[in-house]
A and B are shown apart, each in its own frame.
Chain A
């Protein structure tokens, strides 16, 4: 594997040529927000929070899906980027119903965290607040569409790591919904192994363990790297 050198915020850094920008940026200790990215599953490039400016490119590029290139010069926190990140979070907060005060993941939510980090203290857009279903048919988990940000982490982990592909997306645009089975109640889906991976990787309170009350649902994704390191490198350290 060859090595490339590039500039990140005017600092010279080196990287393996098969790395994505996001990884290299984070290795430098630079904090860049992400929501759809999840270590261990394929990247989507959907939330657009990780956008960076690359000199010579007229477009902003999503760091999570952009491969590094020799000699590239990347900026991660220009005024424009920070402003856009804030707007993206405002849009997400306006899309469904994010009433943190009564949410199971209050205090542990990635959406809430990123919004606080970026100083989003109000939303300029109309709250769309559609009245969506809540599927509590599964014995152990609940799916609350009102908190879903369509990052598709659950879909990818269920397909790529658990291999069950119980979850998918139906509909398009703002009508997109995470579905279980072929749009059956979750409890009736025989393909679901009840492994709980989807719940653990969900960044918000859309997927949670039954019985959790306000602020009680803490997610842990560390398990993903254990599984993947074990599978791929045969490292089983618990």
Chain B
């Protein structure tokens, strides 16, 4: 396929879509599927068949639309009306929706409507997810109809690899995998690194508890990731790419595999891409089921079939990665930003966001907010806007207490910092990190030492065990937090705890151990009085912890107290 053929393919598909009077889009991403989307799609298809509306009504299974807690979601596109979105759709409601919209005089139902101008949609800016929820991820044509693979064609014909790297640098894009390393700089390092072969890896391991940005992108718009990788391959001089997909994401892996096959068949990947001299193959690697496999050196070990364990850097992957060759490794969301940057220009992209954090970021909004789901917002938006406007605030009349960002490597941000702009540097200053995009909202029933314990337990279970500070330190920190939350901690334990946190940050081999104390330290920073209440007064202000133990040295006195109270009880009765 060459560029004119690509454009013709897009044109044909657009005409096909226009020929329908009404298009019913139903989300078929994991959250909606688990709340019953399969039956809804079946009902819609059944309806079209019964009513013999095949030529007028198109039913499409799409990717994620965003407000996942309100699924299954159905979007209706009609030629003359605005798009409308329905929430909590049942098979019965689906028939009613189809009936109302497919009628000669189409109208929207009054029930289960999600207003298009609601803050949930209005405050978002979709760049990476611009196709998500609007296209069928299993059809290449749908992606091409929305301009897909145009950026790759453009880069291959109009730009040199140096120019591609420069464009990415000028756009200000930073890695979305957590650390926020400038992407253009990384590409340029790999481009300049000497090596007979080079590799590109997309990191889709996504291990943070509760986060599903990368899964959604891979499930909803797989070609977007592939196109970004191919452009990267051209820019750095690689002919082979790998997507490392988390083992728990079978749907994402299946859709990616299908997408790779279709793109290869049409000459958009594989040998001589778009009739140029550039070849690029992509293979899928299924994750080995450990959080630490998302760390780049561990991930590469896993791709090569070894035990997924981090190794010391330097050498960095850009110098010596897969099989000792220069390797570019980026997060899948980072790759999702590439095509829009090439399409619209680096300056367009750099105009979104803040001074040092450009573009948009996808967050998985979870916890105690009215609407949870997947959102994409411009960098620099405040936490308050995300939680209270987009998320609709805290339900059940409770008060906001803290927002946790960055998962087990991040921290908690209290109410007084709700107006902080969300960007890499502001969050870091607050003792948290942007991370990959997990955002958990907590109300005043959450106990902060208990939250810290949850994340420490996660790190303890996921530590690979290679280095001592992380392997034993996480266990000891978890023990200390257990003492604090069950009432048996002493002020001395606090000193031990704080010293150990700093030591782990500074001595651990990889990012997991270095950042494992972050949730603990940030809750200490903002909620120290809660820790003190647990230790000094042996009470849990949030009422979460049972506090049924006593410090070891007070056990004797406690036993006496208990026996006295039981004897006096029996005397009464």
Residues of A within 8 A of B (CB): 44-48, 51, 59-60, 62, 65-67, 80, 83-84, 87-88, 91-92, 94-95, 124-126, 128, 149-150, 169, 171-176
Contacts and interface: CB of A to CB of B under 8 A. Distances in A.
A175 B479 CA distance: 16
B297 to A, nearest CB: 11
A173 B459 CA distance: 9
Candidate in B464, B475, B507 with the most chain A CB atoms within 10 angstroms: B507
B476 A126 contact: yes
A51 B292 CA distance: 22
Interface residues of B, number: 31
Q: Which 9 A-B pairs have the closest CB atoms?
A: A176-B465, A173-B463, A91-B472, A45-B312, A65-B312, A173-B465, A95-B472, A125-B476, A46-B467
B283 interface: no
Given A125-B496, A174-B460, A48 B509 contact: yes
Contacts of B473: 91
Given A44-B466, A45-B312, A150-B465, A84 B506 contact: yes
23 contacts: A45-B466, A46-B466, A46-B467, A46-B468, A46-B509, A48-B469, A48-B508, A67-B314, A83-B503, A84-B503, A84-B506, A87-B469, A87-B503, A91-B476, A125-B479, A125-B496, A128-B475, A150-B471, A173-B460, A173-B474, A174-B465, A174-B471, A174-B474
B261 to A, nearest CB: 34
B307 interface: yes
Contacts of B472: 91-92, 94-95, 125, 128, 174
Interface string B283-313: 0000000101000000000000001000110
B468 A84 contact: no
A136 to B, nearest CB: 25
Given A60-B506, A88-B469, A174-B472, 8 more contacts: A46-B466, A48-B468, A92-B468, A92-B472, A125-B472, A173-B475, A174-B475, A176-B471
A47 B466 CA distance: 8
B343 interface: no
Contacts of A65: 312
Contacts of B499: 87
B11 interface: no
B461 interface: yes
A174 B463 contact: yes
Candidate in B462, B500, B506 with the most chain A CB atoms within 10 angstroms: B506
A66 B292 CA distance: 22
Nearest to A85: B507
Nearest to B467: A46
A88 B465 contact: no
A124 B503 CA distance: 14
A197 to B, nearest CB: 21
A173 B464 contact: yes
Contact of B500 (A87, A172, A173, A176): A87
A62 B508 CA distance: 10
Contacts of A175: 465
Contacts, number: 91
A94 B472 CA distance: 8
B507 A88 contact: yes
Candidate in A66, A95, A126 with the most chain B CB atoms within 10 angstroms: A126
Given A65-B312, A87-B500, A128-B475, A172 B290 contact: yes
Contacts of B461: 173
B468 A88 contact: yes
Interface in B256-293: 290, 292
Nearest to A150: B465
A126 B476 CA distance: 7
Contacts of A95: 471-472, 475
A128 B471 CA distance: 13
A91 B509 CA distance: 16
Candidate in B292, B476, B479 with the most chain A CB atoms within 10 angstroms: B476
Given A48-B509, A65-B312, A91-B476, A171 B465 contact: yes
Interface string B81-104: 000000000000000000000000
A172 B463 contact: yes
Given A60-B507, A125-B476, A126-B476, A91 B469 contact: yes
Contact of A59 (B290, B475, B503, B506): B506
Contacts of B468: 46-48, 88, 91-92, 149
A126 B465 CA distance: 18
A169 B312 CA distance: 18
Contacts of B462: 172-173
Contacts of A171: 465
A84 B468 CA distance: 11
A48 B504 CA distance: 11
Nearest to B475: A174
A51 B461 CA distance: 25
A47 B507 contact: no
A44 B312 CA distance: 8
B120 to A, nearest CB: 40
A48 B465 CA distance: 12
A125 B476 CA distance: 7
A62 B468 CA distance: 13
Contacts of B314: 67
B456 to A, nearest CB: 12
Contact of A169 (B307, B476, B500, B509): B307
B510 to A, nearest CB: 10
B308 to A, nearest CB: 9
Contacts of A80: 506
Contacts of A47: 467-468
B555 to A, nearest CB: 15
B471 A51 contact: no
A95 B311 CA distance: 23
A102 B432 CA distance: 47
A92 B475 CA distance: 12
A91 B472 CA distance: 6
Contacts of A174: 460, 463, 465, 471-472, 474-475
Nearest to B479: A126
Interface in B340-370: none
Nearest to B472: A91
Contacts of B507: 48, 51, 60, 84, 88
Contact of A94 (B469, B476, B506): B476
